[in-house]
Chains A and B, each alone.
Chain A
Amino acid sequence: MQITADYGKCQGNGLCEGAAPSHFTVTDDGLVEIIKSDVAPAELAAVETAVSSCPTLAIRLQRD
């Protein structure tokens, strides 16, 4: 599984870092940074919440 971000859509609302701080952070330029793109099974729920709560639909979880 891989996380990808569309920086054209990202607005830096930061809901992703609120839901899954282990994988996402919003940098000083106001855009998401994916800290870790691999998702362990135990982390899946938090990452899924982060993806589904993105208000600009900017992040995706691609399943292998």
Chain B
Amino acid sequence: MTTEQPDIDISDMVDPAAFERGYPHHVWTELRHKSPVHWCEPEGFTPFWAVTRHADITTVSTNPHLFSSSGTMAIQPRAAQANEIPRDLQPPTVLNTDPPLHREYRNLVQPYFRPRVLAELENRVREITRELLDGLTGEQEFDFVDDFVAWHPLRMISQLLGIPREDEQIVLNMTNSVLAVDDPEFAADDRKDDSPEVEASVVSGTRWETFAPYLLDLIAKRRAQPTEDLASVIVNGEINGEPLDDMVAMIYLLIIATAGHDTTRNTLAGGMLALLENPDQLALLRESPSLAPLATKEFVRWATPVAHFARTATEDSELGGRSIKAGDVVALYYPSGNRDETVFDDPFTFRIDREHNPHLGFGIGEHFCMGSSLAQMEIKVLLEELIPRLEHIELAGEAERIRTTHIGGVKHLPIRWKLATS
């Protein structure tokens, strides 16, 4: 076991501004090669371990008794951590619990996200896709994200939850302010008001007071009169035989609503950018539409919208030859695992027909993405509907990425296309 480690400049890995230029793969690649479990002490941060290899990310993720999700969820500066509600006062969620409690939370909605159950919804996804595409036929210049893919998974998760179409914008604002707190474009509106009474936050610095009334209203309505939607399942659910209190129900709805669409949006945007940068792959998909399922997996591997999640060691252990101490924070860099040369052939090549693709884009183990099958169905259907109608597509400006080290990716993608009517 070694205690020495090479000196590697990891500053881009903790700098949200660096992520605007693209994921810091140069840092991760150096770490994978020279120091795959690396002790990081950036100024202004609580020190942590960076885990960058596929195998080590898998080990941590599949041993929740050794690496708990109940501690800090993401690596952020101490100053930002100070704004958070203390962990022991935060409501339990599907994200911050460990087994066996985690299973209780997960089992509330897990059955609704199984592939066999979702298969019945494929036609609805196809209808949503066609409707959105029908609004963009002919020669168009637009933002592929704001004017198209932002609405695609959003509409589906809203329908599943039972949120009416006229309220989709509320969900979109909620998501952007929760997940892109470091990006002034999304956080600005929320942060103009510096009055002290709205400084509490449940999810990394977000002023949830702005949308809590909406969610509490939804909870009250579905409790009074349950319907067939997922919101009714959640707010009338039980954990260990006890009904969910309002706060727990609200955060659960928030998690499903936000996680239920933003990462899919970012994956579609990142995947489309990759198709534009690799015209041979776009041509291949056009020639072979049956590659859509494999292309979907490659979209997720390539974009990996969750840049990291953190775990906290519950006891001393060894990982990648390093000694982890109880209480240490461990950051799992999924995009790095998805470029691991020991797992993927030519990991930095975007190949829509990649057969062997055990990517970690949905995580692995106890906290594996509950919506993975929904996300994959949405991406696959979108490709099946879009590609045959696409007569021409090109970039019409620079892609812009989210300023964040956590849930990242392409936020604006200006394109010009010509789309057949149907």
Binding site for B on A (CB under 8 A): 11-15, 17-18, 21, 26, 30, 52, 55-57
**Chain A nearest CB: distance from B259 CB in Å?**
15
CB-defined contacts of B370 to chain A, threshold 8 Å: 13
Interface-central residue, B103, B116, B362, B373, by most chain A CB under 10 Å: B116
Whether a CB of chain A sits under 8 angstroms from the CB of B365 is yes
CB-defined contacts of B363 to chain A, threshold 8 Å: 55
Contacts A18-B115, A56-B366; A12 near B107 (Cβ below 8 A): yes
Instruction: Please classify the interface of chain B as helix (H, G, I), strand (E, B), loop, or mixed, using the class held by over half of its residues.
Output: helix
Question: 7 closest pairs, A vs B, by CB?
Answer: A18-B115, A14-B114, A55-B368, A30-B107, A17-B116, A55-B364, A12-B110
Is the pair B358, A18 in contact by a Cβ cutoff of 8 Å? no
CB-defined contacts of A26 to chain B, threshold 8 Å: 111, 114, 116
B365, closest chain A residue (CB): A56
Cα of A55 to Cα of B62 in the assembled complex, Å: 9
Whether a CB of chain A sits under 8 angstroms from the CB of B418 is no
Other A-B pairs beyond A15-B115, A17-B115, A55-B364, 8, CB < 8 Å: A11-B103, A13-B110, A13-B370, A18-B373, A21-B116, A30-B111, A52-B358, A56-B365
**Chain A nearest CB: distance from B364 CB in Å?**
6
Cα of A30 to Cα of B370 in the assembled complex, Å: 13
Is the pair B110, A57 in contact by a Cβ cutoff of 8 Å? no
Identify which of residues 107-151 in chain B touch chain A, using a CB-to-CB cut-off of 8 Å.
Answer: 107, 110-111, 113-117, 119
Cβ-neighbour of B111 out of A12, A15, A21, A55 (below 8 A): A12
List 17 A-B pairs, Cβ < 8 Å.
A11-B106, A11-B368, A12-B110, A12-B111, A12-B114, A14-B114, A14-B117, A17-B115, A18-B115, A18-B119, A18-B373, A26-B114, A55-B372, A56-B62, A56-B368, A57-B364, A57-B365
